[in-house]
A and B are shown apart, each in its own frame.
Chain A
Amino acid sequence: MPFIEYGSTKVEVDDEGYLVNFDDWNEQVACALAEREGIEELTRDRLEILRFIREYYRKFNYFPILTGICHNVHQPGNCVAEQFVSPVVAWKLAGLPKPDSMIINILQGETPD
């Protein structure tokens, strides 16, 4: 199983870079995950989004609806796309396990690649 490293700590991720253990997450881990996704800096706005996603997931066992995220962190209605390009990246950086492909498609209206 691959790892990501931050400081002297190693954290397990799956083949696609999703965190294996939800509770391994902290801000440093998020920074290390972000680096892998090409996101340079985890600003306060970004971290607020990630923290909300985690809190929601813990309670509801699901990813929150996109406009709901922005409403709750008091950011513009398209904040997730603005901050992370794709909601799936936000999902990953928040340390959630890999979603089923159906969720991925619905989340981002899968762009052909």
Chain B
Amino acid sequence: MAKAKTKTPKPEELAKIDYSPPEKHWTEVPVEFRPGTYCYGARPKYLEEVDMPNPREWQPYEDDWKLPENWKEIVLEGMEDRLNKYRTFRLFMDICVRCGACADKCHFFIGSGDPKNMPVLRAELVRSVYRKYFTTGGKLFGKKAGARELTMDVFKEWWYYFYQCTECRRCSVFCPYGIDTAEITIMGRELTNLLGCNTDWIAGPVANCYHKGNHLGLEPHTIQSNIEMMCDDIEEITGIRIEPTFNRKGAEILFVTPSGDLFGVPGVYTCMGYLMLFHELGLDYTWSTYASEGGNFGFFTSNEMARRLHYKIYAEAKRLGVKWILGGECGHMWRLIHQYLDTWWGPADFLEVPKSPITGTVFENAKSTKMVHVVEFTADLIRHGKLKLDPSRNDHLRVTFHDSCNTSRGMGFFEEPRYVIKNVCNHFYEMPENTIREKTFCCGSGSGLNASENMEIRMRGGFPRANAVRHVNQKYGVNMLANVCAIDRAALTTLMQYWVPDVEVCGVHELVGNALVMTGETERTMDLRLEELPGKEEEEEDV
């Protein structure tokens, strides 16, 4: 099957964004599957792995999506179920007054100029169908009441735009009614999944996670080997051999991080930072090769799939008999743990309320979930003066911080990462106020959009974030974009290569690892990337 892949336009071309609205009414503008703006369809093997409906070979650019004959009934019944089950869904369908406050807040609209990427209009794609089948006004007055039939074209349009929204929720910050458009996207994606219409990029990690415990499909001995390889590098840098434990029963803490940190660059450098920190603390912790994924691509599929994949972390905590769980630098993991776990599975009462064995701090915020984010943990250590740090080892870096949507906007997790960075780096610069904290701009590739075939839309969606980075790059010479999310580490690397090539990307704990003065270490001449530290190069004879 010929897959349509095109070259992504050059940045200077892409930056010429056309904001002029189409001449026709939005309902009369059919969706166009333009290469570079959508992901490939999920392969059947991935759907079969997790018993999702309608596994078959299909592609979104083909006319025939190979749907069951009664596809419309399936979608409408699914919609009714969800309207009854989720009060938010019904509420958000009903209360929008179309004031337009959200319209220019979406990074995809800013980067593409496509009006259907205005959150209000993206939601209207579903609202119009909701009115037709679930409201009296819509049933009686049809088009005049803003209602429209669910047709194949409408369904395809849903698919196109719901897999273009990153569920970042920036629009909801500006909505006077507090409508969370991500919730609408989540429902929209659930409905497409009833017909087996997921993207390959999401379905693959879901199947891997179900089968092997992590999105990348790393097997237990491979996880162990990868971490040992990182320990080799740490030994080369510090002279200290770290020997972490795996699946150790009776450890006090289970540590779980997104699998991107176990394989990808720059994630592995972040992971080296964790390893060094825990070693220096003498922390009684274990890795698990079973619960080896902090992220959850089920969340980008359906709530039920997220629920299924989610619990293995807790099942493993129970099996190993740990007291509490420490989570690596991840974005959506955090939102899932703190905002969904109790509803799905009830409080994790078989664990203890997390208490730092080093500082004695009790993490009251994790009283129910028993899971602490490693940046919270480290910020607490620094606050209590438990770490010896030499921030000058990061002097070659001028750092800014990207707030990940789920940790910042979703969780109010603003100060901890900044506090840590400011203690381990001497040069920290904020991006403009309306692009950080709760108003942070998305990386443009979250919620499972981090594929390669949709590169143009990713670069468009990431444009506002990149623009803010470019601002601090030009004003302060920023050359490092720190973050606390594995998707960010992968997605922003590409985004920077495209829009701001001078800037690299790192996790916060890479910076911690650089600055951490470890007991018995040799003099550092390299950073965690094995690059020579300025002023510590191997001495060359002056001629």
Contact = CB atoms under 8 A, between A and B. Distances in A.
Interface of A: 56, 59-62, 64-68, 71-72, 77, 100-107, 109-113
B261 to A, nearest CB: 11
A65 B263 CA distance: 6
Nearest to A69: B229
Contacts of A105: 450-452, 490, 494
B475 interface: no
B226 interface: yes
Interface of B: 7-8, 40, 200-201, 204-205, 215-219, 221-222, 225-226, 229-230, 232-233, 236, 260, 262-265, 268, 450-453, 455-456, 459, 490, 493-494, 497-498, 529-531
Contacts, number: 95
B205 A68 contact: no
Q: At the interface, is chain A mostly helix, strand, loop or mixed?
A: helix
Most chain-A Cβ atoms within 10 A of its Cβ — which of B200, B263, B498?
A: B263
B481 to A, nearest CB: 13
Nearest to A81: B265
Contacts of A112: 8, 455-456, 459, 494, 497-498
Contacts of A103: 216
Given A60-B222, A112-B8, A113-B7, A65 B229 contact: yes
A62 B200 CA distance: 20
A101 B232 contact: no
In the complex, the 5 A-B pairs of residues with the closest C-beta atoms, listed nearest first: A68-B229, A77-B530, A109-B493, A106-B264, A112-B8
Given A66-B265, A106-B264, 9 more contacts: A61-B219, A65-B229, A68-B229, A71-B236, A101-B40, A104-B452, A106-B216, A106-B260, A112-B497
Nearest to B262: A65
B502 to A, nearest CB: 15
Contact of A101 (B215, B451, B531): B451
Nearest to B227: A65
A111 B233 contact: no
Contacts of A56: 225
Nearest to B229: A68
B166 to A, nearest CB: 16
Contacts of B222: 60-62
B452 A110 contact: yes
Most chain-A Cβ atoms within 10 A of its Cβ — which of B204, B452, B494?
A: B452
A64 B205 CA distance: 19
B221 A60 contact: yes
Nearest to A56: B225
Contacts of A106: 216, 260, 263-264, 490
A73 to B, nearest CB: 12
